[in-house]
Amino acid sequence: MLCRNLAGSWAVLLTLVGVVGSAFVQAQSQPKPNSPQVKDAKPDDPLRVVAERKKLHVGACLGPASLKDTDGAGVVARHFNLLVAENHMKWSFIHPARDRYAFDFADELVAFAEKNKMKVKGHAFIWHGATPRYLNDLTADELRAALKDHIKTVMTRYKGKVASWDVVNEALDDRDGLRKSLWREKLGEDYIAEAFRIAHEVDPEAVLIYNDYGCEGLGEKSDRQYDLLKRLVKDKVPVHQVGLQMHLNKDKVPPAEDVAANVRRLAELGLTVNISEMDLVASSFPGELPAKLEAQANIFGEIVRACAKEKGFRGVTFWGYSDKYSWRNRRDTKAYPLLFDEDMKPKPAFFAVREAFE
């Protein structure tokens, strides 16, 4: 009888403990009044994850050395979802002789992107630079045929693997009209439209891009770019997107609101827009290094945040990922132009861009 009473008492006690414990757990799981709301982004989210929540790309250009760097390649795979060959898909690299193509690095880049679920942008078919000497010896008809063969050969090889292409790069002169170049001299000013039509015929699914510098904000050159693209759209030339390069230093930073306004007016033409080659020489700012890096971070963050709010904006590609491999750092070893330092550690600019995507 005593044992039965003790057992009954223990059962009641255990029941009470369970009820109290359950109530405590429920109370702990409920948000406290006025408690801060947790954002979707986590402090350690990869950059590409945060960008993808907004359906945007965040890219980087690579060369052979930067892709072979094991630590660097790991940084790229974790944080970027779009790749561009820094040089090795330009004409003189990928097609160095009239009867010879060199696809090795482009193939390697595309394979790396496929392995890591990234997209690839081709850069670039027509540019006044990286033009092999043999093109200068061709007649106009031969040059036109060579252009068509080059675009067809390269695009066909990467069809379904390269989603977008910089078809024409830097065609505008800094002062007036179109730049003087082999292409303009021999093919006339319609060479731009001609190149886009060839590319569209080869791969109707590819996004075709006009890319230039000095047209990022509002101003005389960006007005001329706008007028050029307006004419191309009116003439039903298959241009789909505009690349704003964004190579910056402290004396060459457009206001973020101007860049956003430029994106907006280009989108009104039916085009999408990407920031295509972003870097910023931090050493151009005054003060000690921490202050320089903070100034760089503020500008990156302001511009990306302003653009990310625009419906026509598709993303940003940085011209490199680590200061170690930047073309700006080759000219000035203390340029500090990118998101990661030479030891592959994220800089304040990295966190500012990630926050701008949130």
- Check whether residue 294 and residue 277 sit in a common domain: yes
- Check whether residue 190 and residue 223 sit in a common domain: no
The CATH number covering residue 146 comes to 3.20.20.80
| Alpha-carbon gap, residue 123 to 87, rounded angstroms | 8
pLDDT at residue 42 in the model: 65
Domain boundary among the residues 189, 212, 235 is at: 212
pLDDT at residue 329 in the model: 83
Domain count, the chain: 2
Instruction: Specify if 327 maps to a domain.
Output: yes
Q: Which residues of the chain have pLDDT under 50?
A: 1-40
- Residues identified as active-site: 170, 277
Instruction: Specify if 64 maps to a domain.
Output: no
Domain boundary among the residues 165, 191, 212 is at: 212
pLDDT at residue 35 in the model: 30
- Check whether residue 187 and residue 249 sit in a common domain: no
Domain boundary among the residues 186, 212, 238 is at: 212
Which residue, chain included where needed, has tokens 């050493």? 283
- Check whether residue 253 and residue 119 sit in a common domain: no
pLDDT tens digit sequence for 276-303: 999 999 999 999 999 999 999 999 999 9
pLDDT at residue 43 in the model: 66
- At residue 323, what are phi and psi to the nearest 5 degrees? -55, -25
- Check whether residue 227 and residue 160 sit in a common domain: no
For residue 139, what are the CA distances in angstroms to 133, 146, 186, 189, 255?
A: 13, 10, 8, 16, 45
Encoded tokens for 176: 């007036």
What domain range includes position 186? 73-212
pLDDT tens digit sequence for 49-81: 999 999 999 999 999 999 999 999 999 999 999
pLDDT at residue 334 in the model: 87
Instruction: Specify if 139 maps to a domain.
Output: yes
- Check whether residue 326 and residue 221 sit in a common domain: yes
- Check whether residue 223 and residue 342 sit in a common domain: yes
Instruction: Specify if 28 maps to a domain.
Output: no
Instruction: Specify if 117 maps to a domain.
Output: yes
| Alpha-carbon gap, residue 112 to 192, rounded angstroms | 31
pLDDT at residue 44 in the model: 85
- Check whether residue 94 and residue 146 sit in a common domain: yes
Instruction: Specify if 206 maps to a domain.
Output: yes
